Structure 1
Amino acid sequence: MHSYFKNNLASISFATSLSKVAGFIRQIFIAAAFGIGITYDAYNYAYIIPGFLLIIIGGINGPLHNAVVAVLTPLKRRKGGLVLTKVSIKLTLLFFILGVVVYFNSGFLINFIAPNLSDEAKSIATYQLKILTPCIPLSAFIGLSFGALNSRNKFFLSSISPALTSLTTILFISASWIFSHQNTNSNYLVYSGLLAKATLTGTCIQFAIQCWEINKIGLFRFNSAWHLFKNEEKRIFKLIAPATISSGLGQINVFVDMFFASSFQGAASGLAYGNFLIQAPLGVLSNALILPLLPKFSKFNSKQENRNLEKSLISGIEYCFLTTIFLTGFFITFNNQLVQFIFQRGAFNSEAVFLVKNILIAYAAGIPFYLYRDLLVRAYYAIEKPKLPFQLSFAGIILNVFFDWFLVGAPTINYGNLSPYNFGVIGIILSSGIVNLIICIFLTSNFNTYGIKIPKIILLKNFVLISLACSITSTICYAVIKDINVLNPNVWELFILVIGLLAFLIIYFSITKLFGVNKFNPLIKI
């Protein structure tokens, strides 16, 4: 059993790492080809609806994936194949109808999502959305097939699958560069639809490979026994519905942010690049910090060991603050070097660098509250008290609408801006951080209701001391790099980032140890 787990873990880790690398290279290619121009701006709006379905519905750990794994795992191959085939056909037909509706209403949907985009951007976004609509029915099967493959211990293809779309995008952009050098009179719409066509092609490749793999392991079963196994089919649909609603709440905030971002040229592109830089380390932190704690929370809760649960939760919170505030300080200190080294080439000019580095700073300020909220929500689910997090998700949407609106000047149709605070796209990012902070306060305070005591004053004191340590470290590092940065070639930027990371880590670690707020020991698990 140990060998089985070890082999699967190695396979998943290797495939996931390849997917992350491919995604990183894809984003570099997109930046060089499109910068923060109108085409990539339009693509980010066109991708909202298909992307929601591909990531939330069709993604790993999405509702379809989890439902199929839960139901198919204990079933024998023939029975599991019949259930999968029945559900696949029904859901794909349902999503096909949805795709047709989206296709014929693409202009209305783009105008609804992004009312303040320019007419040219709306036209390109509408064109791209029409190209992307086949991804909608494909997302249903992809989500189901991920679950089916994992239920039969086939993990590599599921983990490597996102890389297929990334590699397809890289190839499309490379081919477009080669073609544009040979034919300068190429059709503009072909180029403006390049990312959408690459995404669709990558999705179709995923679909074809998964069909082949599902058939190979014997889970395609087309025969006359369609009246059988209705209970298993119903279980899958019952599991899908609530999970989809829960997953969709977070996506609504994306819709809200993009709605307000449409008032600012290049905002959607800038948000995509900034979010990309933030999400990679956050994903690593979330997996390393939160996932190991969840089994502990559940174990202590089942045994009613509240004291041990409190200790684990407090320890998790302390490490959350220590690591996320480090990330915040590093991103704020080295924002210029990061954006220049990773993105500044081709169409990604100095204007794009200026926008994205400011967006990166705004995102970095909210990192601690993002991960802290994630930790608290998982803790509530582990102790089987999901009601408050679910309610706060709805409240968060309303708060996000208000703060987005207020921080971009509180625009009105007849009376202009009602607020003197118009931070532009930065305000939209700050809004998310404020909402996460408010939700964290409510979640932290409510633990007392369940007999779990959180020392709020002590944690607040630690937060302040860690933030102070981060500020001192940031000030020292910035004072050094501002003089070195005059050399400015890419080699020097890489040198500054590597040396800066080591220096920041050493100084930050030392000061937090001195302040008594760093209990980290690499030899001890939390």
Structure 2
Amino acid sequence: MSLVKKFATVASGTLMSRILGFTREMFMAAALGTGPVADAFNAAFQLPNTFRRLFAEGAFNAAFVPLFSKEIEANGIDGAKRFSEEVFGVLFSALLALTIAMELAMPLIVRYLVAPGFADIPGKFDVTVRLATIMFPYLICMSLGAMMAGMLNSLRRYFAAAVAPVFLNIILIAVLAYAWYEGKDAHYVGYGLAWGVLAAGIVQLTIVWIAVRNAGMRVGFRRPHITPNVKRLLWLALPAAITGGITQINQLIGTAIASGQNSAVSSLAYADRVYQLPLGVVGIAVAIVLLPELSRALKSGNMVEAANLQNRSVEFTLFMTLPAAAALLVMSEPIVRLLYERGAFAANNSTPTVAAILAIFGLGLPAFVLIKAFTPGYFAREDTRTPMIFAAISVVVNITIALTLFPSMGAPGIAVASAVAGWLNAAMLLAVLIKRGHWGRDVPLLTRIPRLVLAAALMGVALYFGERWFAEELSSASHLATKAIALTALCAVGAIVYFVVAFATGGADLGMIRRNIKRGDAKAPSTPGEME
């Protein structure tokens, strides 16, 4: 199966999840707006989400996948199964102990780590603590689920792991729809969402667990024991966890700082949901697929294939991400009006702030996606320390800029800090790959990048003037359907401009894409575990 098709498999599941995520956020914006319960829920959910990225997705996609792939190559399925059971026993025990400790210390954690700005608002603080207490066990489900997903990705079974997150949004949409139908108040909605998150974690774990069993890997529980393989995993996982969760770490820092201003936490969350669509569909799909593929190429000593995988992945991410960044930068306000401006959100007049945050996130989007494409170049070589150092530097930069800008700019200042830190991190990752000789000079890539930037810039200009042409249709006073039609038409025009310029200037090449797909099909292994 070609790299492009593998990207598409993962991206399709992620796209489905993100679209449903938009629907969920639209319901939430109407029900809660940027009010105190919205702030409390988003701050509380940030805690298990951060730990999930630190100890689950980051650690296991970065450390577990290469080691699991190596076990398959060296000792077959039986060796890989034994290794996964050793890891499962240690992981489950550690997660259980962490969850109990965090539940007992939750008031202190919310007061001093998650939302220190809520400490002086008794009602808001108490609700945040209760919601965080309900949702934190979600971490156990999602961390074990991430391990199962890593196994599936190594076995080239991408679909179940990609589609499982959809159920979080399905369950939360059901909760919101029920609350709306029954006319429930904001506090009921907040608690319903918290229990929905926990239920979704159980459902998602069940899906990937069944998929792993269907792949012939029946993972049992072993008494926790630090074997040499587990020790190696932990040695790699700690820095990998920090690196893989860098975006989430920065978001947690942003949430803590934003808690000092009413509505800032929820404003950041609503803007984050929009830019997570291209980041999730492109960046996360590339990172998930690239790591096991790159690990295999390096283990077999095929350096040419490894270099080609890295360069084509960056080419693909930029080709898909640059137009999204241009659209978010130019059309952030019409997008926010269409998605969120109704109910409590409109009553709070939250559109200008959320739109400003979204435009700034658009500037940082290519960097966030490039980080996902660059880090597998380290992780596949079992180097998790270097990206961790860069992640730590970017966190320091993020905190410094956020604290400097927040008093004068508010929530948009936190977005500026996140974007700057993202670009710095991406630049450092690329520079060291080049210095070590792990990133070969690729003439097609170097010639295409400026042409893609030009195409995205011209698309942005077209959208800028198009937005003014449709100003009346895109205004707050217009009907929802009118705004949707006008925005869709603008996006279609922008896409036409981008693709015409990209292909006309040589920034993209259909022939190259076709050859890559055919070459991938020719190389595709015919093992039973190829795809679900």
TM-score w.r.t. length of structure 2: 0.77
Question: Residue by residue, what CA displacement relative to the aligned partner does 1:454-480 show, whole Å, maximum 9, x if unpaired?
Answer: 99x999987985676355324322331
**Deviation of the 1:425 alpha carbon:** 0.6
Aligned to 1:48: 46
Percent of residue pairs bearing the same amino acid type: 19
Residues 1:339 and 2:336 are matched in the alignment:
yes
Residues 1:175 and 2:178 are matched in the alignment:
yes
Deviates more, 1:111-120 or 1:38-47: 111-120
Residue pair 1:29, 1:173 contacting (<8 A) in 2 also: yes
Aligned to 1:26: 24
Q: Which amino acid aligns with 1:278?
A: Y
Deviates more, 1:397-406 or 1:365-374: 365-374
Q: How does 1:8-157 map to 2 (within 5 A)?
A: 15-59=13-57, 62=61, 66=65, 69-70=68-69, 73=72, 84-85=84-85, 87-112=87-112, 113-117=114-118, 118-148=121-151, 155-157=158-160
Residue pair 1:134, 1:200 contacting (<8 A) in 2 also: yes
Deviates more, 1:193-202 or 1:76-85: 76-85
From 149, 165, 168, the equivalent of 2:168 is 165
Residues 1:219 and 2:221 are matched in the alignment:
no
Q: How does 1:304-343 map to 2 (within 5 A)?
A: 313=311, 324-343=321-340
Residue pair 2:14, 2:281 contacting (<8 A) in 1 also: no
Aligned to 1:266: 263
Q: Which amino acid aligns with 1:157?
A: A
Q: Which amino acid aligns with 1:428?
A: I
Distance in structure 1 (CA, Å) of the matches to 2:404 and 2:240: 31
**Deviation of the 1:59 alpha carbon:** 4.4
Residue pair 1:325, 1:470 contacting (<8 A) in 2 also: no
Aligned to 1:427: 413
Q: How does 1:434-513 map to 2 (within 5 A)?
A: 434-442=420-428, 449-450=435-436, 469-470=458-459, 472-485=461-474, 488-508=478-498
Distance in structure 2 (CA, Å) of the matches to 1:470 and 1:12: 27
Aligned to 1:522: 510
Root-mean-square deviation (CA, aligned residues, Å) is: 4.6
Distance in structure 1 (CA, Å) of the matches to 2:85 and 2:329: 50
Question: Relative to 1, partners in 2 of residues 1:346 and 1:394: Cα closer, same or farther, differing over 3 Å?
Answer: same
Q: Which amino acid aligns with 2:33?
A: G
Q: How does 1:230-249 map to 2 (within 5 A)?
A: 230=227, 233-234=230-231, 236-249=233-246
Deviates more, 1:327-336 or 1:493-502: 327-336
Question: Residue by residue, what CA displacement relative to the aligned partner does 1:262-318 show, whole Å, maximum 9, x if unpaired?
Answer: 122112211111111112123334368788988799979967779x969985x8777
**Deviation of the 1:153 alpha carbon:** 6.5
Distance in structure 2 (CA, Å) of the matches to 1:437 and 1:431: 10
Residue pair 2:65, 2:150 contacting (<8 A) in 1 also: yes
**Deviation of the 1:236 alpha carbon:** 4.8
Question: Residue by residue, what CA displacement relative to the aligned partner does 1:79-133 show, whole Å, maximum 9, x if unpaired?
Answer: 7666555543443232222112111111111111221123322211101111123
Aligned to 2:391: 393
**Deviation of the 1:355 alpha carbon:** 2.4
Deviates more, 1:331-340 or 1:505-514: 505-514
**Deviation of the 1:441 alpha carbon:** 4.8
Distance in structure 2 (CA, Å) of the matches to 1:144 and 1:444: 28
Question: Residue by residue, what CA displacement relative to the aligned partner does 1:239-271 show, whole Å, maximum 9, x if unpaired?
Answer: 544432432444332222112111221122111
Distance in structure 2 (CA, Å) of the matches to 1:9 and 1:289: 6
Q: Which amino acid aligns with 1:480?
A: W
Distance in structure 2 (CA, Å) of the matches to 1:448 and 1:89: 39
Q: Which amino acid aligns with 2:29?
A: A
Mark the structure with the bigger radius of gyration: 1
Q: Which amino acid aligns with 1:127?
A: R
Aligned to 1:364: 362
Deviates more, 1:368-377 or 1:258-267: 368-377
TM-score w.r.t. length of structure 1: 0.77
What is the DSSP-based 3-state SS (H/G/I as helix, E as strand, rest coil) of the residue aligned with 2:409?
coil
Q: Which has the higher contact order (CA 8 A, sep 6+)?
A: 2
Distance in structure 2 (CA, Å) of the matches to 1:211 and 1:289: 23
What is the DSSP-based 3-state SS (H/G/I as helix, E as strand, rest coil) of the residue aligned with 1:427?
helix
**Deviation of the 1:198 alpha carbon:** 0.8
Distance in structure 2 (CA, Å) of the matches to 1:334 and 1:16: 23
Q: Which amino acid aligns with 1:246?
A: T
Q: Which amino acid aligns with 2:100?
A: V
Q: Which amino acid aligns with 1:328?
A: A
Residue pair 1:88, 1:140 contacting (<8 A) in 2 also: no
**Deviation of the 1:199 alpha carbon:** 0.4
Q: Aligned pairs, how many?
A: 501
Question: Residue by residue, what CA displacement relative to the aligned partner does 1:428-450 show, whole Å, maximum 9, x if unpaired?
Answer: 11112222334455556556644
Distance in structure 1 (CA, Å) of the matches to 2:352 and 2:4: 45
Residue pair 2:474, 2:487 contacting (<8 A) in 1 also: no
Residue pair 1:85, 1:221 contacting (<8 A) in 2 also: yes
**Deviation of the 1:332 alpha carbon:** 3.1
Residue pair 2:10, 2:285 contacting (<8 A) in 1 also: no
Distance in structure 1 (CA, Å) of the matches to 2:367 and 2:257: 22
Q: Which amino acid aligns with 1:129?
A: A
Question: Relative to 1, partners in 2 of residues 1:521 and 1:476: Cα closer, same or farther, differing over 3 Å?
Answer: farther
Distance in structure 2 (CA, Å) of the matches to 1:297 and 1:158: 19
Residue pair 1:132, 1:200 contacting (<8 A) in 2 also: yes
Residue pair 2:448, 2:507 contacting (<8 A) in 1 also: no
5+ residue gaps, structure 2, are: 517-532
Q: How does 1:292-307 map to 2 (within 5 A)?
A: none
Question: Residue by residue, what CA displacement relative to the aligned partner does 1:222-252 show, whole Å, maximum 9, x if unpaired?
Answer: 7xx9699955555554554443243244433
Distance in structure 2 (CA, Å) of the matches to 1:32 and 1:232: 50
Aligned to 2:202: 204
Question: Residue by residue, what CA displacement relative to the aligned partner does 1:379-429 show, whole Å, maximum 9, x if unpaired?
Answer: 5667888765443222111111111111124xxxxxxxxxxxx11111111
5+ residue gaps, structure 1, are: 410-421
Residue pair 1:329, 1:470 contacting (<8 A) in 2 also: yes
Aligned to 2:525: none
Distance in structure 2 (CA, Å) of the matches to 1:211 and 1:454: 40
Question: Residue by residue, what CA displacement relative to the aligned partner does 1:314-338 show, whole Å, maximum 9, x if unpaired?
Answer: x877776665443233223322322
Distance in structure 2 (CA, Å) of the matches to 1:311 and 1:146: 22
Q: Which amino acid aligns with 2:326?
A: G
What is the DSSP-based 3-state SS (H/G/I as helix, E as strand, rest coil) of the residue aligned with 2:344?
coil
Residue pair 1:332, 1:361 contacting (<8 A) in 2 also: yes
**Deviation of the 1:200 alpha carbon:** 0.9
Residue pair 1:98, 1:136 contacting (<8 A) in 2 also: no
